[in-house]
Structure 1
C-alpha cells in the first residue's frame, strides 16, 4: 500500500490541481498573440487598402512638375512678393492673404520632402535651387519696393512676422500635414487653404523690408520665421511620404548612405529651429515670471488687467495695467530691477495702476474702460489735428503726412515754399513740436542751400554761428546728406566734432575767409 498521507492528495487530485494552476496563465499567454494579430491586421489593412490605393508614380510626377524652375513659377513668386509687401506696409490682412494665395513656394518645399523620402538627390537639388532662386527674387523685389516707398514704418503686420512662436510652428505643422495628405490622396483642392494658413510669402516680404531699411532685427527675425515654416513643412512632407510607403529602390549600402545623408540634412536643418524653440521657451517662461512678479507686489484683491511684453525691443519693454485698492507707485523701479535679475536681460517697465474699491469692482472697471476709450479717442483726434497742422506747414495734402500713433511719431516731406530757407522749415518744425511735447515731429525740407557762413569771433562761435550750425546739423539729419566745411582748419574741426556728435557725415577742407558749410555733393 502506498502512503498518501504525506502527499496529502491523490495523483488524480494533483493532476487536477496542476491543470487548475495553469489556467490563469492562458489568457496572459494569449494576449500578446492577440495583440500581434491585431497589429498584423492593421498593417495589412494599411498596406492593401491605403498604400495600395495610392499611385506613387503619378503623385511623384505631379510633385516634380510643381517644383520645377519655370517662367510661371518666377513670375508668380515675384507678383506674390510685391502684393505681400504692399499689404504689410498698408497693414491690410486682405492684401496679405491675396499674396499667400498666389505664392507657389509650397511646390518646391513639398518636393524637397518627397525627394528626401525616395532618395532622389537630383530632385532634391532641383527643389532647393528652385526655392532659393524664388525666395531671393521675392526678397530683392520687396526690398526695391520698400526702398522707393515713402512708407518705411514697421507696421503691426510686419512686426507680427519678425519673431516665430509656438503657434507659427503648429500652423506650419498642421498645414503641411493637410497639404501632404491632399497631394498624396489626390485632393489638391485643399491646397488653397493650406497656402493661406502656412503664410510662406509674408515672412519673405518682411525679409526684404529688413534688407531695404537695413534693420537686422527685422531681417533676421523674418528669415528665421520663413526657415522655421520651411523646415517644418519639408520634414512633415517627408514623414507623410514615408508613412504612405514612398520608398527608394536601393541596395543595402545605398539605403544606409541615404539614411546617413537624411540624418545629416535633418541635423543641419534643425539648427535654426532649435534656436527658435529655445527662444520661444525663454519667452514663454519670461511671461510667466513677469506676471508672477507683478502679482506678488499687490494683495489678493488686485487684478492684473493687461500685460504686453515687447521682446523685440532693446531693452525688453513691459507694459502692465493693474486694478488695485491700494496704489503703490514706488514699486515700479523695484519690480523692473527684480525682473531684470530674474530674466537676465535689461527691461523697461511701464506699470499703470488704477485705484478701485472692493465693492462693485465690475462697475468700476467698466468706468475705467470707458475712460480709457475716451482717452484713446481724444488721442486719435489730437493725431488728426496734428496731421492737419503739419500738412499746412509743409504745403501738402493731409494724406501725405505719416502718423504713427503707437510710437507718437509724425513725418512729412515739405514742398518748396517761395522765399523759405532751411532755417524757415526748421522753425516750422520746432513750433509744431513745441505744441506736442510727447510726439517726435520730423519735417523733411526740400533740398536747399546751407547757411552762407558759420561765423566765429576770437575762436568762439558767435550767436549767429551757433544758429547756422544748428540749421546745418538739422538739415543734414533730415535729408541724410553729408557736409563739407571749408575755411580755417581749427574752426572747421570744432564744428565738425559737433556735427559728428549728431550723426552727420562731415569732412573739413582748408580755405581762406569765414567758415562756410556746403553739401558734400556740391563741393568745389
Structure 2
C-alpha cells in the first residue's frame, strides 16, 4: 500500500512537473525579452537629450507663431482653390506637431509644468490659425465648399488609425534620433487643414463643416499625444507618479481614447452604409431597363433629405415611369425618401448604346487624367520649389521628373521623403525628384556591421547618387569602407573606395570629370 502510494505521488509529481514546464518556459522567454528590451533598446536611448530637445521645440516663440500663421494662410487658400498641392505645402510648414509631441512626452514623465507649456503653445497656435483662416474666408469672394473642404468634415475610425500609426512613427523617430521621418508624419496627420476648415465653417456660419473639422482636428492631436505617451513609456521614459496614480492616469487616458473612437466608429458605419446603398441604387436602376441599355455611374447626394440620385441611361426603349418606380423601391430598400433624376438617351441598338457609353466614359477619363497630371505637376513643383513649367511629365513612359532648388535648412532626407510621399499617390508612375547637391550623412557602425541608422544613411546616399547621376567615394577604415561601398553598389549607385583613415566612414561625392 505504501509502495502504491509512493508510485501515485511520483506520477502526480511528474505530471505536475510536466504541466509546469511549459509555464516556466514561457515565463523565462518573457523575462529574457524584458531583459533584452531594457539593455539593448531602452539602455541605448539618450533620454535627457530627447527631453531637452522636445522642451526647446515646445516653447511659444515668434518663429512658432509666424510659421503657424503662414501655414494657416497657405492651407485655407489651398482649400478654397481645391488644390491638394498647396494644402500639402501647408502641412510641411505647420509647426503644430511640436507642442503635441511635447504633451505626450510630458504625460509620460509626469512633468505638468512642461504639459502646461505645451498646451499653452498648442492653444495659441490653434486659436490664431482658426482666427486667421476665418478672416481670410470672410474677406474672400470664394466661399464655396470645395472637395478639399468636404473631405475634412467627415472623420471616421480610419482617420484615427492614420493618426495612430503616424504618431508611432513620429515618436520612434524622435526617440531614436531619426527626425527625417517627421516630414512624412506631418503630411500624413494633416493638422493644419482641419483648422483651416474650422475657420471656414466659422466664417460662413456652417456648423456642420465646423463641427466635422473640429472632430477631425481633436482626433488627430489627441491620438498623437496619447500614442507618443505610450511610446515614451515603452522606451523607458518614467514618471514620478505613484503606482496608484499611474494606474489612474492609464485608465483616464485609455477612456479618452475609447470615447474618441466611439463617434468615429459611428461615422465609419455611416460611410459603409452609403457604400452599400450605392450598390443597391445601381442595381435598382439597371433593373428597369433591358440588357441592351447602358447606365452611367449614378451620382448620389446623401447629405440632404431626400437622398438625391442622378444618372444617364442609353437605352433602345424609353421608360417614362422608371423614375417613379425607382423612387418607390429605393425608399423601401434604404428606409428613407429618395429623389431620382434619370436622363434617358434613345439609341438604335445595343451596339450604339455601348459606343455612346464608351465615348462618354472616355471623355470623362481624359478630363480626369488631364486634371490628375496637372495636380501631379503642381505637387512636384511645390515640393521642388519651382514653377509647374519646370516639371517634366512623360505620359508615354509614365514618368514625372523635377529638379529641386535648395531649400534653406532642408537636408537630403526632406527631398527623399517628399518624393516617396508623392510617388505613393501615383503607383503607376515613376516619380523622380532630383535633390540639390548636399552633404551626405556619415555612416556609424555598431560593431562589425552598420546599424539601422547607418543603413538608412547608405540608402539615402544611393538614392541621391542615382537621382543626380554622380559617383560616390567611401573613405574610412578599409574593411568598413568596403562594406559600405558594396552596399551602395548593391542599391544601384556607382561607388569607389577613397582614402583609408581611422574614425567613422564618410560617403562623399566623387569629383566630376574636369574638376
TM-score (norm 1): 0.60
Residue aligning to 1:156: 147
Contact 1:81 1:142 in 2 (8 A): yes
Matched, 1:278 2:269: no
Which runs of 5 or more structure 2 residues have no equivalent in the other structure? 368-515
Residue aligning to 1:368: 357
Contact 2:152 2:194 in 1 (8 A): yes
Residue 205 of structure 1, CA deviation: 0.8
Residue aligning to 1:98: 89
- After superposition, what is the alpha-carbon deviation per residue over 1:249-290, rounded to whole angstroms, capped at 9, x for unaligned? 2334xx42x543554455456545422321221221232144
Taking the TM superposition and a 5 Å limit, the aligned residue runs for 1:118-129 are 118-129=109-120
Structure 2: distance between partners of 1:27 and 1:38: 17
Residue aligning to 2:248: 260
Residue 91 of structure 1, CA deviation: 1.8
Larger C-alpha radius of gyration, 1 or 2?
1
- Alignment root-mean-square deviation, CA: 3.9
Structure 2: distance between partners of 1:357 and 1:202: 50
Taking the TM superposition and a 5 Å limit, the aligned residue runs for 1:37-52 are 37-52=28-43
Residue 343 of structure 1, CA deviation: 4.9
Residue aligning to 2:22: 31
Taking the TM superposition and a 5 Å limit, the aligned residue runs for 1:185-196 are 185-196=176-187
Residue 129 of structure 1, CA deviation: 2.1
Contact 1:295 1:304 in 2 (8 A): no
Structure 1: distance between partners of 2:85 and 2:364: 29
Question: What is the DSSP-based 3-state SS (H/G/I as helix, E as strand, rest coil) of the residue aligned with 2:297?
Answer: strand
Residue aligning to 1:224: 215
Residue aligning to 2:455: none
User: Closer, same or farther in 2 for the Cα pair 1:294/1:368, shift >3 Å?
Assistant: closer
Question: What is the DSSP-based 3-state SS (H/G/I as helix, E as strand, rest coil) of the residue aligned with 1:170?
Answer: helix
User: Closer, same or farther in 2 for the Cα pair 1:264/1:19, shift >3 Å?
Assistant: closer
Contact 1:179 1:194 in 2 (8 A): yes
Greater shift, 201-210 or 266-275, is seen at: 266-275
Taking the TM superposition and a 5 Å limit, the aligned residue runs for 1:408-447 are none
Residue 311 of structure 1, CA deviation: 3.8
Higher RCO, Cα 8 Å, sep 6+: 2
Residue 28 of structure 1, CA deviation: 4.3
Matched, 1:77 2:73: no
Residue aligning to 1:390: none
Q: Residue 291 of structure 1: which of 252, 268, 279 is its match?
A: 279
Structure 2: distance between partners of 1:370 and 1:17: 87
Question: What is the DSSP-based 3-state SS (H/G/I as helix, E as strand, rest coil) of the residue aligned with 1:306?
Answer: coil
Q: Residue 190 of structure 2: which of 176, 199, 203 is its match?
A: 199
Contact 1:298 1:324 in 2 (8 A): no
Matched, 1:132 2:123: yes
Residue aligning to 1:233: 224
Taking the TM superposition and a 5 Å limit, the aligned residue runs for 1:467-506 are none
Residue 352 of structure 1, CA deviation: 6.2
- After superposition, what is the alpha-carbon deviation per residue over 1:45-84, rounded to whole angstroms, capped at 9, x for unaligned? 1111111111222222222222221111111100000011
Contact 2:318 2:344 in 1 (8 A): yes
Contact 2:68 2:129 in 1 (8 A): yes
Question: What is the DSSP-based 3-state SS (H/G/I as helix, E as strand, rest coil) of the residue aligned with 1:116?
Answer: helix
TM-score (norm 2): 0.61
Contact 2:294 2:353 in 1 (8 A): no
- After superposition, what is the alpha-carbon deviation per residue over 1:392-442, rounded to whole angstroms, capped at 9, x for unaligned? xxxxxxxxxxxxxxxxxxxxxxxxxxxxxxxxxxxxxxxxxxxxxxxxxxx
- After superposition, what is the alpha-carbon deviation per residue over 1:157-200, rounded to whole angstroms, capped at 9, x for unaligned? 12222221344233222211111110111111110111111111
Contact 2:315 2:346 in 1 (8 A): yes
Contact 2:155 2:267 in 1 (8 A): no
User: Closer, same or farther in 2 for the Cα pair 1:149/1:197, shift >3 Å?
Assistant: same
User: Closer, same or farther in 2 for the Cα pair 1:265/1:30, shift >3 Å?
Assistant: closer
Greater shift, 69-78 or 285-294, is seen at: 285-294
Contact 1:203 1:226 in 2 (8 A): yes
Matched, 1:59 2:50: yes
User: Closer, same or farther in 2 for the Cα pair 1:134/1:44, shift >3 Å?
Assistant: same
Question: What is the DSSP-based 3-state SS (H/G/I as helix, E as strand, rest coil) of the residue aligned with 1:139?
Answer: helix
Give the count of matched residue pairs: 364
Contact 2:282 2:298 in 1 (8 A): no
Matched, 1:330 2:321: yes
Residue aligning to 2:105: 114
Greater shift, 204-213 or 297-306, is seen at: 297-306
